[in-house]
Amino acid sequence: MSTTLEQTALPQSTTRAHVSASQRRRRKKNVKHGVVIALLSGWTVFALAPIVWIFMMSLKTPEDIISNPPKFFFLPTLANYAQVLSGPEFLTPFLNSLIVTLGSLVLTLFIGLPTAYALARFTFKGRESIAFGILSLRFAPELLIILPLYLIFQQSNLNDTYLGLILAYQLVTLPMLVWMLRSFIEDLPPELEEAVAVDGGTRWTAFRHVLFRLIAPGLGASLMLSFIWAWNSYTLPLVLSGRNTQVITTGIQQYISFQSIAWGPMAAATVISLIPGILFALLSLRWVVDGLTAGTVKG
């Protein structure tokens, strides 16, 4: 009788121990998830706090902006946005930024796409040296190359021109696109192009109909980063642009005078200048998703 009770109690104690260990693991996992969520939430607040503060400033009156202690609850106003959008002080640099940034992306795509393909698919002497030379353009500090670049632009009459800024922005956009697309193309098997060649197609046919769809995610990501870096570039347009080609990053400085700082209009101009980057990122994200789903079988 006692032996039977011991045999019955043993599985029950083993089951309870197993359940207790499972609960401990679950609690430990929940604690880890909670810590990760808390850290990510703290980092999100830290990263977004300046943007939220600038947005709040753009909706405040001058008295609310300089109030001490700061006001978190106030009557919002759109006067700052009306002032910014009603004159050429902001609209002209904004339009210049669009022209220069989009122009630089078009030129980067025209140069970078065949360059990345050649570096990924062809073997020739000096290939790695050329690739590293392109990458070194991104490594070089802008302050180190801005003076010789300014002298070259002065002698070639490229200073204060759209073409000059578009060419200068290649230092920012071209290395990223070339190296990202090169890695994407190298990951694709060459048999894809060989299959097109067997059917009588050329390299251009294989690239246009096969490779381009497969590298669309990398192309979208690289263009998104290139747009953001070109749009936010400060040193190059500060030295190479002028009255006719002033861009948004240097144009916002006009709200700072020797007598005062127009905090409200400057905050409104900053918020508006964020919109193109956000829209381009959303557009590129959709392109990335389309590239990932291209060629899938529909049932």
The per-residue pLDDT for range 31-75, each reduced to its tens digit, is: 888 888 999 988 988 888 888 889 999 888 888 888 888 888 888
The fraction of the chain above a pLDDT of 70, given in percent, is 88
Q: Say which residue, 253 or 290, is predicted with more confidence.
A: 253
- Determine the distance from the C-alpha atom of residue 283 to the mean position of all C-alpha atoms in its chain, rounded to a whole number: 12
215 and 102 together in one domain:
yes
The fraction of the chain above a pLDDT of 90, given in percent, is 12
Section 166-180 average pLDDT? 88
In a domain, 145, yes or no: yes
134 and 100 together in one domain:
yes
201 and 252 together in one domain:
yes
Look at the chain and report how many structural domains it folds into: 2
Residue 288 has pLDDT above 70, yes or no: no
In a domain, 67, yes or no: no
First vs last Cα of the chain: how many Å apart? Answer: 65
pLDDT at 107: 93
232 and 84 together in one domain:
yes
Reduced to 3 states, what is the DSSP secondary structure of residue 256?
Answer: strand
Measured in degrees and rounded to the nearest 5, phi and psi for residue 261 equal -125, 125
Q: Which range has the worst mean pLDDT, 25-29, 243-247, 285-289, 292-296?
A: 292-296
Q: What is the enclosing helix (H) or strand (E) of 100? A: helix 88-121
85 and 188 together in one domain:
yes
Q: Say which residue, 50 or 208, is predicted with more confidence.
A: 50
90 and 29 together in one domain:
no
93 and 122 together in one domain:
yes
95 and 235 together in one domain:
yes
Q: pLDDT, tens digit, for every residue of 140-161?
A: 777 888 888 889 998 998 888 9
pLDDT at 17: 63
Of 102, 130, 61, 98, the residue nearest 247 (C-alpha): 98
122 and 268 together in one domain:
yes
In a domain, 95, yes or no: yes
In a domain, 158, yes or no: yes
In a domain, 73, yes or no: no
194 and 100 together in one domain:
yes
In a domain, 209, yes or no: yes
pTM of the model: 0.78
41 and 86 together in one domain:
no
In a domain, 297, yes or no: no
Residue 178 has pLDDT above 50, yes or no: yes
Q: Which residues contact 137 (CB under 8 A, 6 or more apart)?
A: 170, 171, 174, 175
Average of per-residue pLDDT values in the chain: 81
Residue 4 has pLDDT above 70, yes or no: no
Q: Which domain holds residue 128?
A: 79-292
Q: pLDDT, tens digit, for every residue of 121-145?
A: 888 788 888 888 888 877 777 788 8
In a domain, 47, yes or no: yes
CATH number at residue 248: 1.10.3720.10
87 and 35 together in one domain:
no
**Would you call the peptide bond into 50 cis, given omega within 30 degrees of 0 as the criterion?**
no
